[in-house]
Amino acid sequence: MLRQILIAFFAVLTAAAPAAAQRSFDIPGLGTIQFGGGQNRQVDQRRIDQRFKVLDRKRNYNDESRIVFDVGRRQGRFSQLRIRAIGKVLRITSMQVVFGNGKSQDIDVYQAIQPGEVSAPLDLTGDARGIRRVVLTKRRAWQRERGEVELLGLPDETGDYKLIGSERHRDRDRDIEFDVGGSKGRFDSIRLRALGEPVRITTIDVTFGNRRTQSIRYFKTLKPGYLSEPLDLQGDSRGIRRIVINKRRSYANGRGTLQLLGLPGSAPPPVAEPRYSVLGTERTGRRGEDVVFNDINSRNRWDEIRIKALDRAIRIDDVVIVFGNGKRQRVDIDQRLRPGEATRAIPLDGRNARRIDRIRVDVNRRRGPRGRLQVLGVGPKAAPPPRRPRRAAQQKVPEGWVLFGSETVGTRAERQVLPIGKDAGIFDRITFRALRNDIHIRDVTVVYGNGNRDRRDIDLLVPAGYGTPPIDLKTGRRSGRFIREIIVTYRSEGRRWGNNTALLQVYGEYADEWLKGRDRASDRGQWIRLGARRAAMFNKDNDSINVGKRFGRFRAVQVRVHKSKVKIYGMTITYENGTTEKVPIYGKISKGGSSAPFDLKGRKRFIRHIDLRYKTSFSLRGDAVVEVWGLR
């Protein structure tokens, strides 16, 4: 009875409605009842026939609740589906779509489709998808008439565009935001597709990976299932960080989905030709700190260079190139390098290729994590591929060698000048010792007392706790040479977490000619350095310095301190005949100070070894150096 009353009521409405209008109502249990029609219905059917493609056609049996459409991926990719009823009413409850990749989508339909009519568009999730099969669930009927069912699909119109993101929205929302994050790649243009509800777009705000923005005025309504025209992005292929779609609000309760699609851009051209060689790689430092490349192969000549960012975006203001002859060349870059991007080629001044001593890069890094920079060079002759230095054998520093000094070094290559002076004496050989971490010694330059320079290419990796093989010095008129200073280029190869610094010590061996003149009258009143030790902070040390007959006889001893204040607890001298003597040296000795000379028992004595007890105070300059000197 209720069914007959409802049908009669809608029949009256149909008679009263204008002929040109087309309206429909979804009634639970009855399905969709459409009335009106006329010219508009014919126009809608022609549009559907033009846009949608028939994928499959099946018989609609009354006693069956499922209809399976075998589509197959060969028919293409589709973004929407529709169902058309032929010959009899079709009451659909749900639909399952199985895609070509094996994934599936369940859609609740609950529509009654009249003969010759089509269902509302059914949106597919994700990008346009290839369909393997569609399973349609319907209600059984007891009428004897039989009909057919067609599955229609809207072919893909995206072409080479790929899906970047999908966001659900309500009619009351003012904007729709897509957080892309820059990980999707680079794009030349974008397109939008509305699903479920129309979207009235006003403007589109695009934020790129370098935080620059672009505003696009659209002011159009995007209908469900339709794609917008391509919207070109400014500049070359750009990475997208965020897109905000500004739309008009309404007070309806509709919900829909908006998809963002992008046209992938072409890959950027290679930043450097294969003929370029890597000259060095360094990490950026703290804010406002320049990046200096010291470890450059200066034996080769170069025509031009480039600066390349490896793993993070880095902005470069200028580059200063220091050549082997000391001259400089400054180049203004003012460029922000993306990861993997390099600057333009920087030709070096001069007609011929130049040797490079070091390169300083002014990096404008205000915030963010540290990155890596690389210097690429090309010249008449390509540089050999970088190789790791050979590892030195584990050798201890010989007894009787005196300590000149010690310096702390980090992981960056540094050039350090160690002053020695003529008052230290004449030496035959020198050696270097590494502490705390391994040290890579690249080259050593010895400046003699007369100003001559002796450069040695060491290129050794010295293990922590051991020294290099002895380095023989050039002989002068006598068997040894006075040393004014030692210049060493080195860097720490530390791999410890939180402590990558190392300590480099320089030792020297006195020349026999210098020690043999101990009995001459001219040598009376001359002080000789007997040895030195490094005093660690917060620790009470007991060190022994071996002297021996080779140093000769001494009449007095003295303690000198460098770099930090040291507290002396006492000193014991053991002579060659086995007797000992305690030296009353107590108290604190300030940095750069010395104790009073202590006269030894007897006129002149040979010293076997000296035992010293001391403790250093806290200082930001590092560990102190304690020296013991003897008076001839």
> Between 2.60.40.1180, 2.60.120.1300, 2.60.120.10, 2.40.160.20, what CATH number should domain 388-516 receive?
2.60.120.1300
Which pLDDT does position 126 carry in this prediction? 65
pTM metric for this prediction: 0.38
Q: Which residues of the chain have pLDDT under 50?
A: 14-43, 271-272, 382-383, 479, 518-522
Which residues in the chain are classed under CATH 2.60.120.260? 162-264, 520-632
The Cα 349–Cα 323 span in angstroms is 10
The 3-state DSSP class for residue 320 equals strand
Residue whose C-alpha is closest to residue 403's, from 389, 424, 423:
424
In degrees rounded to 5, what are phi and psi of residue 448?
-80, 175
* Structure-derived torsion over alpha carbons of residues 431, 437, 442, 443, reported in degrees to the nearest 10: -30
Task: Classify domain 520-632 at the CATH topology level.
Answer: Jelly Rolls (2.60.120)
Q: Is the dihedral of CA 323, 328, 329, 335 positive or negative?
A: positive
Query: What pLDDT score was predicted for residue 205?
Result: 93
Q: How high is the pLDDT of residue 2?
A: 58
pLDDT at position 374 is 92
Among 472, 346, 497, 474, residue whose Cα is nearest residue 411 = 497
d(CA 100, CA 73): 6
Q: What is the CATH number of domain 162-264?
A: 2.60.120.260
What Rg do the C-alpha atoms of the chain give, in angstroms?
43
pLDDT value of position 4: 60
Q: Give the domain 277-378 fold.
A: Jelly Rolls (2.60.120)
CATH code 2.60.120.1300 region(s) in the chain: 388-516
pLDDT of residue 283: 87
